[in-house]
A and B are shown apart, each in its own frame.
Chain A
Amino acid sequence: ETGVTQTPRHLVMGMTNKKSLKCEQHLGHNAMYWYKQSAKKPLELMFVYSLEERVENNSVPSRFSPECPNSSHLFLHLHTLQPEDSALYLCASSPGLADTYEQYFGPGTRLTVT
């Protein structure tokens, strides 16, 4: 039990659909993250939030839209995705942004875009 939950665990969507991924952390952390894990590529950081404010956006296409309504919840809204967006999307949290803090990961959402 990592204290970070993600729903749904699996999602299949067409390119014209709109869906949202949800992440919730029960650890009292102040920072939350979205990562993309594709086959044969390193984990890619997508977004970073600290105290509900976005502090990092690594040139992610606008078809991915994050939302952080409070420090415990993080969403990733998806619309008009492409097949190459199929991947495992991982959420993580940490107590803060200091370099000594480890990040705690959720189990991920396996997304397939058809």
Chain B
Amino acid sequence: GNSVTQMEGPVTLSEEAFLTINCTYTATGYPSLFWYVQYPGEGLQLLLKATKADDKGSNKGFEATYRKETTSFHLEKGSVQVSDSAVYFCALRGNYGGSQGNLIFGKGTKLSVKP
């Protein structure tokens, strides 16, 4: 079936460290891929997205490239800040079977950035 697998957390980094959160997917066809972020006590916010192979989504210093050959969409940031502490969710969405338009989420990766 269609699924998203992301690295287990929690991830703890020092401020200004490099961040990578791995995400791989299994899907039929050509899904769109998303990263969402959830800050403490809040709902999910879209961080970035990519809708076709080799697209790069970017926002707030975060980047992720849609790699069809490796079925991956890893999230990266060159220099994290304390304010980036949150839970990050990788997700895919595509029209397949009877589940039109459904988002499939990974389990989430909690990031803690220390000063």
Interface residues, chain A, CB within 8 Å of chain B? 2, 4, 6, 31, 40-43, 45, 48, 50, 55-56, 90, 92, 94, 96-108
Contact = CB atoms under 8 A, between A and B. Distances in A.
B95 interface: yes
A102 B102 contact: no
A2 B41 CA distance: 14
A99 B43 contact: no
A100 B32 contact: yes
A5 to B, nearest CB: 10
B74 interface: no
A97 B101 contact: yes
Contacts of A56: 98-100, 102
Given A43-B89, A56-B102, A100 B108 contact: no
Given A97-B95, A103-B103, 10 more contacts: A43-B44, A43-B105, A56-B99, A97-B100, A99-B95, A100-B51, A102-B34, A102-B46, A105-B36, A106-B43
A90 B43 contact: yes
Nearest to A4: B43
Contacts, number: 62
Which residue, of B31, B34, B44, has the highest number of chain A Cβ atoms within 10 A? B44
B77 interface: no
Which residue, of A31, A50, A92, A103, has the highest number of chain B Cβ atoms within 10 A? A103
Interface in B60-115: 89, 93-95, 98-103, 105-108
A55 B95 CA distance: 13
Contacts of A31: 101
Contact of A99 (B41, B42, B101, B105): B101
Contacts of A105: 36, 43-45
25 contacts: A2-B43, A2-B45, A6-B43, A40-B107, A41-B107, A42-B105, A42-B108, A43-B44, A43-B103, A45-B102, A45-B103, A50-B101, A56-B98, A56-B100, A56-B102, A98-B101, A99-B31, A99-B93, A101-B93, A102-B46, A102-B49, A103-B103, A105-B36, A106-B43, A107-B42
Contact of A107 (B43, B89, B102, B105): B43
